[in-house]
Chains A and B, each alone.
Chain A
């Protein structure tokens, strides 16, 4: 076999046109051989990258999950609720909404539902002998309020046309706690302006309207007849057609107070929730930065290990050069090896980060949202980092003098 091949060679013209070449798949295999031969070291080095990638994926995943949860809550609550309040005049003095304003608001086309509340200048107490500063408001309102706010009753019932005229009261969720009335057993009463009011219901919390949670609510008629109060609306809540929220918002001040539209303040309670979804951005950037530092340290670790590996494997490098590897083949092998090492870290990190996200989100009762781009970017980023980290060791390996490298050290 050998001699016939030799003959073919000598009669076949110039034989040294044969070039040194290596298949990409072989280069990848050669790159992984070095890692397979040093499993413990490979794993330990990959962990450095894994920690960096895991922390970044977890930061992105947790903040995405938290955001997804807020957005889901927003969707549930709706973003079409507007609140009109009296603002301040040019002298900085508090103003009042004109008395007919609730009716005016209802006349705006896209308004689906509107109700006003009027804050009464009085206190509510558990009974006449208590004089707590409990921070609770007494609000006079209309029976439509519950529909407008899309609220619900925890126990008992809400005001209706009948009870709105009687000394009855419905408690907000915080108010019921502060007054110590958690149920309606024994027909509890509270004391408003030294008059007893029967508690007929307790409301569930309003995520968009915490003011209502801290209030006790009575009917407008009861406020006028029982307490002799004058009804001056302090807030008007309205639901609009979701498509026309901004348009309605624009015309509200002039509708409510045509004479002084500047004295009217209009807000959208859901804006606060949306802002919360954005607030995390700074913290998220900081955490991503920390993850990036961990990743960088991992990259330096890889570069370090690769330099050591090149020193240890002088013989192998010399052998490969003797077997026909070019400098480029050698450099490629070490860059691939270091990329594989980092990519392994990337895969571990992505899995770890996703697991942390799922675990944390479950514990917080959030929707789980692991951003797929973060997973892809995690592995790809690790690959690139590994290639960069391997560059210097690879150049060192390629520059080794093959004659020196095959000698015993």
Chain B
């Protein structure tokens, strides 16, 4: 699969996270066709590997297939062909129920529209992230409180979404995504509904969570945003047309070599 990756990625991959590690996410020749005549090739032979602890931007213009890619990675959609592996588990073999379990335990979602429940406060919104794991309510709320503190909302625990600013709402959504400590955090245009100041605050927050060890994939059409991230995968017409890394941000992944050797 290495040869499929773009030339820009190759030299860094040799010395960085891709070398001999345990990829948290692997896509091999993923294709997604939408029925029609002729069928729409939303994804066309995408091969991609993400190591634990990476912070990756998947960037592309609208209609490039990045949303389909997000849905496939998030297991909300199944690929037409190709192999998707999350944490060593081939997703194609999983039943609908097991897939839901995988989402509940391994994937945290952050959406552009936040998708918060308006009837309940921040703490219960975040606790929803653990709702489908069978965790007791008390434990859920306790973990939710910790997660809210991590995103800097320790003083807004009881506030309802309607009583919060856009940036605060997105922080609640981020807390919800990380509360179950998932293998991958998927952020779909997380700053799409926010002004530039708030946007950079949110990106800083995601960066900090990444420094703490979270693997984060941000889907965006914003070139400027993607340029600020350590790894950029560029999508166009359903294909990966670029995969580049900047030097300094390979460090967090480098800090875990023993773990990879063991596994």
Q: Could you tell me which A residues sit within 8 Å of B by CB distance?
A: 1-3, 5-7, 9-11, 14-16, 18-23, 25-26, 29-30, 33-34, 36-37, 315-316, 318-327, 329, 401-403, 406-408
Contacts and interface: CB of A to CB of B under 8 A. Distances in A.
Interface in B57-93: 67, 71, 74, 76-77, 86-89
Closest 4 CB pairs of A and B: A324-B104, A37-B119, A3-B213, A324-B132
Contacts of A16: 86-87, 89, 94, 98, 101-102, 105-106
Interface residues of B, number: 54
B103 A10 contact: no
B60 to A, nearest CB: 16
B111 A406 contact: yes
B263 interface: yes
Contacts of A323: 103-104, 109, 128-129, 131-132, 176
Contacts of B112: 408
B118 interface: yes
A315 B113 contact: yes
B245 interface: no
Interface of B: 22, 52-53, 67, 71, 74, 76-77, 86-89, 94, 96-98, 100-107, 109, 111-113, 115, 117-120, 128-129, 131-134, 136-137, 176, 178, 181, 183, 188, 209, 212-214, 256, 259, 262-263
B256 to A, nearest CB: 7
Given A2-B214, A16-B106, A21-B134, A34 B98 contact: no
Given A5-B181, A315-B115, A323-B129, 8 more contacts: A20-B101, A20-B104, A22-B134, A23-B136, A321-B100, A323-B131, A324-B131, A326-B132
Contact of B119 (A6, A10, A22, A34): A34
21 contacts: A1-B212, A2-B212, A10-B22, A10-B259, A11-B262, A15-B183, A16-B102, A16-B106, A18-B102, A19-B98, A20-B97, A20-B133, A21-B101, A29-B137, A318-B76, A319-B109, A320-B128, A322-B109, A325-B104, A326-B96, A402-B76
A402 to B, nearest CB: 4
B21 to A, nearest CB: 10
B76 A321 contact: yes
B132 A20 contact: yes
B248 to A, nearest CB: 19
B183 A33 contact: no
Nearest to A317: B115
B181 A403 contact: no
B96 A327 contact: yes
B80 to A, nearest CB: 14
A324 B89 contact: no
B105 A18 contact: yes
